[in-house]
Structure 1
Amino acid sequence: MSAPVLRFSLPRWRVTRWLADAGPDVPPDIRGALVASLYGTLPIFAGGVINSLAVSFLIAWRIPTLPFTLWCAFEIVCCIVRLCVLLAARKRAARGQSTPTDIYLLLGVAWAAGIGAGTFLSLMSGDWVASTLACLSAAAMVGGICFRNFAAPRMAGVMVALTLGPCVLAAPFLSEPMMLITFMQIPFYLFSMTMAAYKLNGMLISTMRAERENAFHARHDMLTGLSNRTGLAKAFTTKFDDAKPPKGLALVYLDLDGFKAVNDSYGHMAGDALLQLVAERLRGLVRASDIAARIGGDEFVVLSEQTEHVQLQRFGERIVREISEPYELDSGHRLHIGASVGIALAPEHGRDMNSLMTAADAALYQAKSRGKSLCVIASQRPVIGGASSGETLRLQ
């Protein structure tokens, strides 16, 4: 089994919303996935924590003054709090609860500021060993910062600036004029890494959009926008198989009467336009919790949570009546078709899609054979060869 997808809360504070902003026109589900990626790549997180703790401890041990001791203490507290918040957020996300995303993002920025402050102190100390170690550590952190946080490129840029920026601030106070090259080197490096984060972010969003569209296309009919067979089966599994205990469902099977004559008389373009109009009417008939699908040709299915026979008969009557109203095409043609409906219920007529489709198809066959424009609910007895009796509603 695949691991469940963890859903983390979007940032709520103004500053954290700015830090995690992914750009305009990014759908909420992709924003959520981008925020979730900030909680991922745990090996990079662990490597960064271990490195910053080791470097701050070694330099504080080499230069045991108050500033370096405070820096080391800050690194220890910051890393412990970050780890605790990260673990707590993952546990809350697994339980479907809100997560402390705002605090988590600000702790990441504070951690980067701590690295930069330690680098500044090391350069100002005049100890070339401490300075070398601190600068190497800060430079090494930048790659991990960008790779781990490119889902929020603004945050990545801020963290890189806080990590390496103090090298520029310390350069004028050092006795080596050569260090002034950092005024050109660090800003250029900061710009390059930030642009790389934005480029990776754009590629990630494009990939997510493509995956989202592919997933939609895989589960929806391209002509009408309704669910297709795959989407219908997934909805059934979600609503029935995954329910504990399974709740009742009704499968309403709709077939158009007279559609073939439209195709023969007016052509397939008119037929496609008619199917789109039928789908539009069907959307207006179903409830928000229902699933409407086109499963092929002129066959439609509605998966509904209403299971009372009287309600279903009224629903079937309304479908037949509304679908049978005349249609005005853009071409100016006024078309008339009818509809027949067969209904099966779960678990009464089966606990899987195939059983329900068989029972609903048998009820639909009865509606057709009895004169069309009928709604037939499958009987409670097993359906054999489409010849079982059913409850019939005749429309006058």
Structure 2
Amino acid sequence: MGFNDTALKMSSRLSVAVSTIGFNQTAFIALVPLIATATGLQTGEIGLTAGLGAVAFVASAPLCGMLGARIGARRALYWLGVVLLLAQLIFLALMVAGPLPYVPALGLLVVSRLVYGAASAGIMPIAQAWISGLLPQKERTVALARLSAGLSIGRILGSAAAVTASVMPLLPLMLLVASPLSLLLAPAANDTVGKAGPRSDSRAYLSPLDGRLLPFLGLGFLVTMSFGHVQMILGPLLQLHLAVGPAEATAAAGITLIVVALAMIATQILVIPRLRLDNRTCVILGTVLLAAGVLLVAVPLAYVNLCGLVMAGVGMAIATPNYLGWLTGRMEQGEQGAAAGWLASAHVLGQGAGAISGGYLFTVSAQAPLFVSAILAGMAALLAFSMKARDT
């Protein structure tokens, strides 16, 4: 087996390892009713702790990316896995302790989410930088797409695990707590590729204002803010289009998101390896599909909505690994983890901004968030078009 074959096999193992992040994202959200019952906390307070975890994620992602460059990717992933497990054990203790006084219950949940958010922020950037250091530019995007597919598979498994709560309430909780153990599957070979050399390590900090990085932060923010609008309003929009109640709309939104996730995984695994376009062209193609897809969601027909959402998801699946591969190709090896970390922070900020903007715009008009989403995707396409082709 050649060097590149080995690297691609490593990306498959890493995709399983990083699936814990996607698993936690959906499982924690789905378990909110169970958390409220076990802790006595209200939904708003649980949401606040999730928001604080997101803040910790944004602050920690570039720092964790730099950690991987300093101590080696595999070692960094293992240590972050230990911290994730600690955070989940704190969460488990809270859930099985029975109703606690308000302050201790809220405090334990805040600590758990802060620790989890800070540690989980580094998993994808470190894995992405590790793979980027192993592969040439043309093969890098395929491997990065596999990592993204692992994240998506984790999200689907998290939703599936939550369904078992009606049969055995403790089972999804135990799976959630144990999910960081997947990081033990991180490959043990080629760890030196994840470390910065003397030249690149001399640069202790990668500024988000670095000219090589800044356009990609803009791309990541615009793309995720665009899709964030759609995710936020999907349930209420389906309720209007289908003329159903909240429970039925919630179920329809859940099924729709699973279909979209499966389409994204299929794109990442089957389509991207067969694309013969450079990164820049793929980013433009993906963002155009995203814009067209969200406009189809505005049509008040259920099957057109589903087609539009699948198209938007496919666009996301094409664009994201391509601008990440494009970015890492610009950076020194020791800077790739920090660059991926800054991009992860931009993604979280974009998702949050899209959720806030989409929620408020929906109160004005059901179509307004979709039109704004399409405009943002169009802006991302124009930004990618304006960037130099030689950088791809």
TM-score (norm 1): 0.27
Higher share of residues assigned strand: 1
Q: Between Structure 1 and Structure 2, whose CA radius of gyration is higher?
A: 1
